[in-house]
Amino acid sequence: MKIGALAKATGTKVETVRYYEKIGLLPRAARTTANYRDYGSDHLARLSFIRRARDLGFTLKALSELLTLSDDKEQSCEAVDDIASRHLAKIDQKIDDLTTLRSELDRVISACQHGTVGDCKIIETLAPRPLS
Partner DNA sequence: CTTGACCCTATAGTTACTACAGGGTGCATA
Partner DNA sequence: TATGCACCCTGTAGTAACTATAGGGTCAAG
Give the footprint of DNA on this chain (CB under 7 A).
2-5, 7, 13-16, 18-19, 32-37, 54, 59-61
CB proximity list for 106: less than 8 A, separation 6 or greater: none
Binding-site string for its own copies from residue 49 to residue 78, where x marks contact by CB under 8 A and - marks none: x--xx-xxx--------x--xx-xxxxxxx
* Least distance to its own copies, CB of residue 76, Å: 6
* Least distance to DNA, CB of residue 61, Å: 5
Comparing CB distances to its own copies, the nearer of 32 and 99 is 99
* Phi, psi angle pair for 77, to nearest 5°: -80, 0
Give the span between the Cα atoms of 33 and 113, in whole angstroms.
Answer: 68
- Residue 37, strand partner residues: 31
* Least distance to DNA, CB of residue 118, Å: 27
* Phi, psi angle pair for 100, to nearest 5°: -60, -50
* Phi, psi angle pair for 88, to nearest 5°: -60, -40
Residue 15 binds what, of its own copies, DNA, none (CB under 5 to 8 Å, by partner type)?
DNA
126 contacts its own copies (rule: CB under 8 A) = yes
What type of residue sits at position 53? A
